[in-house]
């Protein structure tokens, strides 16, 4: 798979409960270089990259946050992971169809 990336756009308000509504959305970029999604371990490797990127993208120092901020960080991770996995499934189907 040539230089593939997954983009998951998330509203900045998901990252910070106090963020103003006019902040632009941030994009999470996940490189899938060297991963064959049709190979047995390819999907698992891609999912590990997605999980790691979602943790890094959203706040992961949750033990030092308020309950509300921890909830926002969890929602951010879930949204980032969900968006990226949906795009990953779509890319995998396109890759399999091209064979």
Higher pLDDT, 62 or 32: 32
Residue 49 has pLDDT above 90, yes or no: yes
Higher pLDDT, 18 or 78: 78
N- to C-terminal Cα separation, the chain: 12
As a whole number, mean pLDDT of residues 58-83 equals 85
As a whole number, mean pLDDT of residues 2-14 equals 51
As a whole number, mean pLDDT of residues 55-62 equals 80
């Amino acid at each position: 798979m040539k230089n593939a990336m997954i983009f998951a756009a998330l509203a900045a308000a998901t990252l910070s409960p106090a963020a103003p509504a006019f902040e632009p959305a941030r994009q999470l970029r996940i490189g899938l270089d060297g991963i064959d999604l049709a190979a047995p371990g390819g999907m698992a490797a891609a999912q590990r990259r997605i999980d790691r990127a979602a943790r890094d993208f959203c706040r992961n120092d949750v033990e030092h946050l308020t309950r509300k901020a921890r909830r926002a960080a969890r929602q951010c991770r879930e949204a980032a992971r969900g968006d990226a996995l949906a795009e990953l499934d779509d890319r995998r189907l396109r890759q399999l169809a091209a064979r």
